[in-house]
Amino acid sequence: MIKTVLIDDEPLARSIVKEYLQSFPEISIAQECNDGFEGLKAIAQHKPDLVFLDIQMPKINGFEMLELIEQPPAVIFTTAFDEYAIKAFESRAIDYLLKPFGEDRVAYALERVRTFLAGKPDRAAHQDHMSEFLRTTREPPPSCLLVKRDGRVLVLRPRDIDWIEAVGDYVTVHVGTESHLTRSTLSDMQKRLAVEGFVRVHRSRLVNLAHVREFRPSSRSESTIILKNGARLEASYALLKEIQERLGA
């Protein structure tokens, strides 16, 4: 049996991994953990063979957690962001799963875990896998966002999103008359959606340029953006000026 611990602050993310793992009878889930500190205690108690580990978590992230473990188990990182890939492989992670991932991708990762636990790590295969992953992560990010709503997972396409607003440790994604709260930072959203035409117009707002009807400069500090749906958003004069210069206006 492969004793396994799941560490992710999103219960839905843990439940998805747990559902996939039901197809693999050799996997025994010892504990599910909500954060890194709980994960540290679970690893000390259960001494698992394998950990599915999220990277972005409150209090302590996945990398910081691993630094506190003298002899970490085999680790499969699970995250919605691809910018940590190099660091993950430098930490000798077995694999790096980009959310959303499917059962086939989990099966491939577990095959690598079996090889590792059998004491036959194939360094060349590991390097090939790393090179292939890094090549694919240079391509545009997945053209959708996944958000939870009333026990469901909604797929939001960038072309349908009007604007995004920072709210503490979360962001609110505005789509027409609907708003969806999800854990992320505005900077992460900006990196992920820049190729989809999203620009920062305020320290706490991103907008989809394709949904902008007009800019209305009002002062040297604040201006207004009017979207095609009639929404009016406060914007930074300096950021709007920068956007207009980039667009050649």
Residue range 127-135: average pLDDT?
Answer: 54
Protein fold of 145-246: OB fold (Dihydrolipoamide Acetyltransferase, E2P) (2.40.50)
Taking the model in full, what pTM does it have?
0.54
Residue range 173-184: average pLDDT?
Answer: 92
pLDDT single digits (tens) 29-79: 999 999 999 999 999 999 999 999 999 898 899 999 999 998 889 999 998
Q: Can you give the residue ranges of every domain in the chain?
A: 2-137, 145-246
Confidence (pLDDT) at 135: 52
**pLDDT at 88 > cutoff 90:** no
Q: Which residues contact 78 (CB under 8 A, 6 or more apart)?
A: 8, 13, 17, 52, 53, 54, 55, 97, 99, 101
Architecture of domain 2-137: 3-Layer(aba) Sandwich (3.40)
Structure tokens at 51: 């950990």
In the chain, the percentage of residues whose pLDDT exceeds 90 is 45
Structure tokens at 153: 């997972």
- Helix, strand, or coil (residue 218): coil
